[in-house]
Structure 1
Amino acid sequence: MRIILALLAVLGWLVGSHPAAAAPVQRVEKVTAVVTAADSMPPLVQKRMQQSVQAIAGQLIDGQTVASVEASCQQKEQLIHEVFDKVLVGYTVSQVTIHPAAETKVEVLLLPWSDVITRVDVDVQVEGMPPRMESLVRRDLAEVDTVFRDALTGLPTAATDWTNGVLKHHLNDYLASHLPEFRGDFEIDPESEAKVKLVVYPKLPVVRTVDLSMRSDTVPNVTLLARREVMQDKVDDLVGVPVEFIKRHQRELSQQFAQELDQLSDFRSYHMKTTVSMDVAERLHVMSRSDTSRYRLRLTGWLDIGRKDKNGHEDDESLLFRFHAGTMLSQQDELFFLVDLMPQDMDWGWAAGYDRRLSSRTHAQLRYDLHERRFVIAASQQLAPRWLLRYEYRFFDKNGEAALCYKMHDFLGLEYLVDRHQNWFRLIGNF
């Protein structure tokens, strides 16, 4: 019995003296900082100050035992007070309080040096942009005032220089979200009613040149030349503008240009409707297409190559100009009048007719030749955007003519024609 009691006593002493039996040591695992001021403090400035205090306190406290922090709390508070007070401008550290725990909280109370900013007025200047583009830039910057109000309202006037870094970072974030194609610089007049001058300017690449094309399928293209200078002045607003900015506003700009062109007096009289498309790059291409739903006015000319007359000689009427004037009775029905001029022998021809659109690609036509006093029937089929197949039969010479036309571009086409006597080529100009 004595031996058992002795063994238990020795075991108890060993267990009590073993390090594993000691109470666990609590250490500081996280440090958070809360910075407040006697008056209001801008949230952005408060966030940066809290990050600074947290960094200072973390170096002193993080990883230490809670007990050691409690023992040296006053010393550490004084050290944080002195270090943070030296880096501050516009504020004085009034009090530092440490609350030791696994998640230690450090509270700092500040006093402002001087008057605080109560109002912020922002003057935005846009460099190098014409009025049309400047209005779009200013619209994208509509809420930029909040960037400066959030950072300056409630801040001591003496502390504005210290906040430049915060403001620059916050402004860059705002521009990246709202106006990524521009950069911004600012100056601050630190008064109770602070004045901020913000200047935004474009980033590269910008548009260097603008190539303009104006087309119509329902009026002669030559009639658009009278308005080319007007349209050129409008699209020249795009020169010097960032390429990506135009891409972002491409749809709106296209609508603006189209609407302004359609408001011109001659365009209104013809009930013109314009669409504008852009190929946006440093060399920017603008294409405007203006058409009327009420009229069909066309001026064409053609030159036949390899066509023979009845005697097998070159046809004297190989060159012809035709003016087509039509009015739309509906979206599918057109009444028209044709005037033909053969300048080689100064002969004229006239015809009146009716055109019916059977589908989006198919047309049927009946016209009466007033010179030959006979009818002509015709039909056409659009095979592809640039390919057209057509046929017409003339009762006055009882001859049918089939043609396959390739549209080389908006002003020039090439046809291959076949009738019962011969085949030949025709160059067609659209004026």
Structure 2
Amino acid sequence: MFSSLMTKKMMRAGFLLLVSSFLFSAPAEAAPIEKVNVSLDAVGGDLPPAVEKRVVSSISSIGSRVLVGKEESLFSLNSDAYNKVLADIINRVVIGYMVSDLSVNYGRDTAIHVTLQPVGKIIRSVDTVIDYGGLTPEAARYVAEDTADVPRLMENLLIGLPVDSVGWAESVSQSAGRDLLSQILPEFQANFEVESGENTKVKIYLIPQGKIVRSSRLTFEKTTVPRLLMLRAAEETETALSRLQGLPVSFVTRHSGEIASNMNEILKKDSFIEKYGIATDTTLVSAENMELRVNALTDHWVIRTEVWLDAGRDGDRNTSVEGMLGHYIGKRSTVFGEARLYPGPMDWDVFGGFSHQFGSFMNLGYKYNFVENSNHFITQIPLGDKFALRYDRDFKERENEFGFSYKIHNYITLEYVYNDEDGKWLRLIANL
């Protein structure tokens, strides 16, 4: 509606200037005006850049409509009269200011210089409030860090302007403000509510745009201590992570390093992790289903505990509890002892062994079963984050066992097992 009103005003003003041009004679041969350049200053100080840009744009539009294509001599020979008409047009269009001086250098490239003087009340203070909508306080805190300078920038934009100019072209406080917020916070749409006056109040409503984080989870990638011992730390961190739901995915991506670091600080403050010097690091995968990947490693020891439940396997070893204690030799090699208890009927396997990690591609090793007096060659190959292949060769019994596993979540893994002697079955592994 306003742009339509503005267009009508400019058309009337252009018509006035065009009609007045017929009151003066022009030489038969003269160069037409091809371009209009506008420069601007203000009495009492500079205009804010965003405001100056829009005022210059409006005056340039006026000049282009009424001057471009006309013979420059028509205007230069009667410059005083035309300058007065131009000043009157500008006074009608640029609300809140009046032209205190105007000079025009007519030619193919016509240059217009305008000095504006504010009229009426002046904005002396700006109170800016940002509404973060339905975001949790934790999520809003990250957004608030990005918008910390917005109140100061709004003051720079508005203080010193005439009160009447705030609504001019809906640009000073709203369009210019949106441009400002789109640079600072591109993941949100900003809507403005402005109560103009000498003490202007600005309220900014932020609306998330694009894909939104709808769920979150914490996943242990590598651990060298039982996960149950870190359960409290994991739950606290996962709760903190869940409070970031509702943020735009693109915003989380831009802040992923900071968020991951903050989550890691929560883990590090846990009494168990702190007491035993467990080194944690975190990586945030931003998506609608956000994931925090955690490594929790010790410098020297590897401790693992698992419970196995087999389904579809004959025999009396379908339930077992396994514990492993290992010690690093160098960065990639481990010596370990392993005990496996079969509760019904009570039976044991006890192993000692050695393994070596070849990058992230493969783990190869050897272990000896002290109960069965058997030698085993073992290998494990990870396939991404959730899948893995396992192979165990029993040289005494000349048996091969293959396993293909899928990690359902931090504490449960499902494995499909094939053994030369016992056939195939499913194994549910509780990663304690």
Q: TM-score range by the shorter chain?
A: 0.7 to 0.9
Matched residue, 1:232: 238
Q: Select 2:33's aligned residue among 28, 37, 42.
A: 28
In structure 2, what is the equivalent of residue 250 of structure 1? 256
Residue of structure 1 in register with 2:419 after alignment:
417
Give 1:280 deviation, angstroms: 0.8
Summarize the Cα distance change of 1:156–1:41 in structure 2 as closer, same or farther, 3 Å threshold.
Answer: farther
Q: What is the CA–CA distance in structure 1 between the aligned matches of 2:354 and 2:35, rounded to whole Å?
A: 85
Which residue of structure 2 lines up, in the alignment, with residue 402 of structure 1? 400
Q: From the superposition, tell whether residues 186 and 287 of structure 1 become closer, same or farther in structure 2 (CA, over 3 Å).
A: closer
Give the counterpart letter for 2:401 in structure 1: A
Deviates more, 1:255-264 or 1:233-242: 255-264
What is the rounded CA distance, in whole Å, between the counterparts of 2:426 and 2:160 in structure 1?
Answer: 77
1:199 to 185, 193, 205: 205
Q: Deviations over 1:256-282 (max 9, x none)?
A: 32342243122334515243453612x
Correspondence for 2:69: 63
Q: CA RMSD in A?
A: 3.4
Q: Deviations over 1:286-315 (max 9, x none)?
A: 2544432332222132538555xxxxxxx4
Whole-angstrom CA distance in 1 between matches of 2:382 and 2:210: 40
Partner of 1:299: 306
TM-score by length of 1: 0.76
User: 1:202-213 maps to which residues of 2 (within 5 A)?
Assistant: 202-210=208-216, 213=219
What residue in structure 1 maps to residue 14 of structure 2?
A: none
Number of the residue aligned with 1:275: 282
- Contact 1:128 1:201 (8 Å CA) reproduced: no
What is the CA–CA distance in structure 1 between the aligned matches of 2:382 and 2:143, rounded to whole Å? 42
Q: Which amino acid aligns with 2:132?
A: V
Which whole-Å CA distance do the structure 2 matches of 1:306 and 1:50 have between them? 83
The unaligned stretches of length 5 or more in structure 1 are 1-21, 308-314
Give the whole-Å Cα distance in 2 for the aligned partners of 1:332 and 1:34.
69
Change beyond 3 A, Cα 1:163–1:120? farther
Cα distance 1:268–1:368, how it changes in 2: closer, same or farther (>3 A)?
farther
Q: For 1:364, give the aligned amino acid.
A: G
Which residue type is aligned with residue 341 of structure 1? L
| Matched letter for residue 364 of structure 2 | H
Query: What is the Cα deviation at residue 180 of structure 1?
Result: 1.6
State how far apart, in whole Å, the 1-side matches of 2:363 and 2:76 are.
93
Give 1:89 shift. Answer: 2.8
CA distance in 2, matches of 1:110, 1:408: 72
Counterpart AA for 1:429: L
**Partner deviation per Cα, 1:223-256 (whole Å, 9 max, x = no partner):** 5554553233122123221232223333433343
- CA distance in structure 1 between the aligned counterparts of 2:245 and 2:150, rounded to whole angstroms: 25
Could you tell me how far 1:366 is from its partner in structure 2? Answer: 4.0
Equivalent position SS for 1:399: coil
1:387 is displaced (CA, Å) by 1.4
Task: Output the amino acid matched with 1:275.
Answer: T
% identical aligned pairs: 21
CA distance in 2 between partners of 1:60 and 1:86 (Å): 15
The yes-or-no answer on 1:76 pairing with 2:76 is no
Residues matched between the structures, number: 390
Per-residue deviation at 1:151? Answer: 3.0
Compared CA separation, residues 65 and 279, structure 1 to 2 (3 A) = closer
Superimposed CA distance per residue, residues 12-69 of structure 1 (whole angstroms, 9 cap, x where no aligned partner): xxxxxxxxxx994233333333333221231332332233233334444333333321
**In the alignment, structure 1 residue 132 sits paired with structure 2 residue 138:** yes
Describe the shift of the 1:169–1:298 C-alpha distance in structure 2 as closer, same or farther (beyond 3 A).
same
Select the residue among 98, 112, 121 that pairs with 1:92.
Answer: 98
Is it true that 1:161 corresponds to 2:138 in the alignment?
no
Tell me the CA shift for residue 336 of structure 1.
3.8
Which residue of structure 1 aligns with residue 365 of structure 2? 364
Q: Which residue of 2 aligns with 1:381?
A: 379
Helix, strand or coil for the counterpart of 2:100? Answer: strand
Question: CA contact under 8 A between 1:277 and 1:288: conserved in structure 2?
Answer: yes
Unaligned runs of 5+ in 2: 1-26
2-side partners of 1:304 and 1:377: how far apart? 26
3-state SS of 1:414 partner = strand
DSSP 3-state at the match of 2:358: coil
CA contact (8 A) 1:215 1:287 kept: no
Q: Distance in 1 between matches of 2:94 and 2:332?
A: 79
Residues 1:217 and 1:44: Cα distance change in structure 2 (over 3 Å): closer
Change over 3 Å in CA distance of 1:390–1:335 after alignment to 2:
same
| 2:399 partner letter | E
Distance in 1 separating the partners of 2:232 and 2:106: 83
- Check conservation: 1:296, 1:328, Cα contact below 8 A: no
Shift of 1:159: 2.5
State the alpha-carbon separation in 1 of the partners of residues 71 and 311 from structure 2: 102
* In 2, Cα distance between equivalents of 1:358 and 1:208: 37
1:429 corresponds to 2:428: yes
Largest Rg, 1 or 2: 1
**Retained in 2: the 8 A contact 1:147–1:170?**
no
How far off its partner does 1:182 sit?
A: 0.7
Alignment check: 8 A CA contact 1:262 1:274 kept: no
